[in-house]
Amino acid sequence: METIKSIFYFILAGVFEIGGGYLVWLWLREGKNIGYGVCGAILLIIYGIIPTLQPPNANFGRVYATYGGIFIVLSILWGFKIDNIIPDKFDLIGGFIALVGVIIIMYAPRG
């Protein structure tokens, strides 16, 4: 159950970070109004809080290293679902490698 909660928090953090960054992107690069930027900034602040919900035995470096792999995969999915960018085989291979790293870094049994 602890692992499922941990994965949930990683995905939630990714949605807030990528979503917040995307709103700021729309504001600054696509000419949307400042409300997009403000909402994006709020989401990015919340993103910064979410990783602290990881299990107490998870240290900062391990959590953020793991989150990096999750971020890679979520970014590929975001591009596919939101921007209609079809991932190529190298995106998929890289995402798979990142997930293998996530599993090893965060969830491998330690003695």
Q: What are all long-range contacts of 35-44, with beta carbons under 8 Å and residues at least 24 apart?
A: 43/16, 43/17, 43/19, 44/16, 44/17, 44/20
Tokens for 27?
């504001």
Q: What is the pLDDT of residue 20?
A: 98
All structural domains of the chain with their residue ranges: 2-107
The one-character DSSP state at 54 is: S
Predicted local confidence at residue 57, as pLDDT: 85
Q: pLDDT tens digits, the chain, 111 residues: what are they? A: 889 999 999 999 999 999 999 999 999 999 999 999 999 999 999 999 999 999 988 899 999 999 999 999 999 999 999 999 999 999 999 999 999 999 999 999 987
Say what the pTM is. 0.88
